[in-house]
Amino acid sequence: MMTQLQATPLRTLALSRRRGAGAAARPMAGSVRCSAAARSYSITLLPGDGIGPEVVAVAKDVLSVAGSKEGVELRFQEMLMGGAALDAAGVPLPDETLAAARASDAILLGAIGGYKWDNNEKHLKPETGLLNIRAGLGVFANLRPATVLPQLVDASTLKKEVAEGVDIMVVRELTGGIYFGKPRGFGTNDKGEETGFNTEIYSVAEIDRIARVAFEVARKRGGKLCSVDKANVLEASMLWRKRVTAIASEFPDVELSHMYVDNAAMQLVRNPKQFDTIVTNNIFGDILSDEASMITGSIGMLPSASVGESGPGLFEPIHGSAPDIAGQDKANPLATILSAAMLLKYGLGVESAAKRIEAAVTETLDNGFRTGDIHSPGTLYLHCSLLAHQSRVLRLFDK
């Protein structure tokens, strides 16, 4: 099957390694339904909860300026999702939100969730809204680049010589596996005890399509793909390993290896430079990308792009709603700003505007501006909104 990813943008994208802050914005694109000649695009904003609205507000600002500098009109519509939608409309993903997202050229999501809704029934949890929009858009491939920027080597929790130069792309399967598998629920075992259960399940088609995306990505990066699974124990992983190995024959130029997830978690902190591209299932990709983010200095640095076979791409930071710092203007907005750059480059094909954002991020860091999570001696602590302001004035307005 020829996916849209393979047919158009993914194949043509430059996915080579290490290009400064912009290296984070490297992977792919959703379909763009507005012709480049028209230069006018509709963007659905889903701020969500907690720090979501804070980081989306600054990313929107940066997007607008970058777009207008390049003569691109970006039309924004903000829609409810997550806890905000629960409070306003009683559901975590209103039909109008999904419809608006589907009808737009690209979607920028902040984050969802918070203490207030933690004990809701499953169908009334903000997280269910997130899973449903990913499934509803069919964005099965989630690319999470973990790149250690030279300016932030000292912010890494790993030793400089271990962190320096790390550049990993995690290709996470996003619409299958245990987060979606059935049966799931609560029950009672034969001792009368309450149980909770979920199902890790993948079909051949689901594995083959994510494997092909990952091989394409690896081919355009360092040519190495490590498939992470738990095939020594789980049947779903046994099938995963068998299919990834089979798909490898279509990509003889890519060196494939396999690793169990427990070892991968250890190797990521032992010697992360051994990894180029990682492909893994939904839950392992969720966990390993959070782990990889700390090598770069903070979870507040990692953007992501999610795409499917057709329709708009979904762009979001990998972090959550961070209720512990929400409302304090403390969040690092760079993951969302870099997600906005990915949106421009791979969602809309407006690479020049993406480059402005990437350059602004680089220059902001070069000038020593930092939010609290990546602050170190000798750098200047700024709040979220001010850091974004620096991103704008230093580069976008001036050049």
CB 167 within 8 Å of CB 17: yes
Q: In the complex with ligand NAI, which residue's Cβ is closer, 95 or 118?
A: 118
If binding means CB under 6 A, how many residues of this protein chain bind ligand COI? 5
Q: In the complex with ligand COI, which residue's Cβ is closer, 50 or 349?
A: 50
Q: Which does 84 bind (CB under 5 to 8 A by kind): ligand NAI, ligand COI, Mg ion, none?
A: none
Q: Which residues in the 158-187 window bind ligand COI by CB under 6 A? A: 179
Dist CA 108 CA 56 (whole Å): 8
Q: Provide the minimum distance between the beta carbon of 142 and ligand NAI in the complex, in angstroms, as a whole number.
A: 10
Q: Provide the minimum distance between the beta carbon of 261 and ligand COI in the complex, in angstroms, as a whole number.
A: 16
Strands 185-188 and 380-381: unpaired
Distance (Å) of CA 395 to CA 67, 360, 375, 385: 13, 5, 21, 16
Amino acid at 96: E
Dist CA 185 CA 30 (whole Å): 33
Dist CA 48 CA 110 (whole Å): 6
Of 13, 32, 101, 130, the one binding ligand COI (CB under 6 A) is 130
Interface with Mg ion, residue 316, by CB under 5 A: no
Of 286, 309, 316, 351, the one binding Mg ion (CB under 5 A) is 286
What residues act catalytically?
179, 230, 262, 286, 290
Residues in contact with ligand NAI by CB under 6 A are: 51, 111-114, 127, 130, 299-300, 316, 319-325, 331-332, 335, 373
Helix (H, G, I), strand (E, B) or coil at 221: coil
Of 49, 61, 105, 127, the one binding ligand COI (CB under 6 A) is 127
Q: In the complex with Mg ion, which residue's Cβ is closer, 61 or 286?
A: 286
Q: Provide the minimum distance between the beta carbon of 290 and ligand COI in the complex, in angstroms, as a whole number.
A: 7
Kindly write down the DSSP assignment for every residue of 226-256, as one continuous string.
EEEE-TTT-HHHHHHHHHHHHHGGG-TTSEE
Interface with Mg ion, residue 216, by CB under 5 A: no
Strands 185-188 and 224-229: unpaired
Of 173, 200, 229, 286, the one binding ligand COI (CB under 6 A) is 286
Q: Provide the minimum distance between the beta carbon of 102 and ligand COI in the complex, in angstroms, as a whole number.
A: 20
Angle between helical axes of 52-69 and 334-342 (0-180°, round to 10): 40
* 22 Cβ contact list (under 8 Å, min separation 6): 341, 354, 355, 358, 359, 362
Interface with Mg ion, residue 173, by CB under 5 A: no
Interface with Mg ion, residue 363, by CB under 5 A: no
Q: Which stretch binds Mg ion (CB under 5 A): 140-148, 232-240, 286-294, 385-393?
A: 286-294
Q: In the complex with ligand COI, which residue's Cβ is closer, 61 or 127?
A: 127
- Name all contacts of 270-273 with Cβ < 8 Å and 24+ positions apart: 271/162, 272/158, 272/162, 272/163, 272/166, 272/168, 273/162, 273/165, 273/166
Q: Which residues make beta-bridge pairs with 179?
A: none
Q: Provide the minimum distance between the beta carbon of 174 and ligand NAI in the complex, in angstroms, as a whole number.
A: 11
Q: In the complex with ligand COI, which residue's Cβ is closer, 295 or 318?
A: 318
Binding interface with ligand COI (CB under 6 A): 127, 130, 179, 286, 318
Interacting residue ranges for Mg ion, rule: CB under 5 A:
286
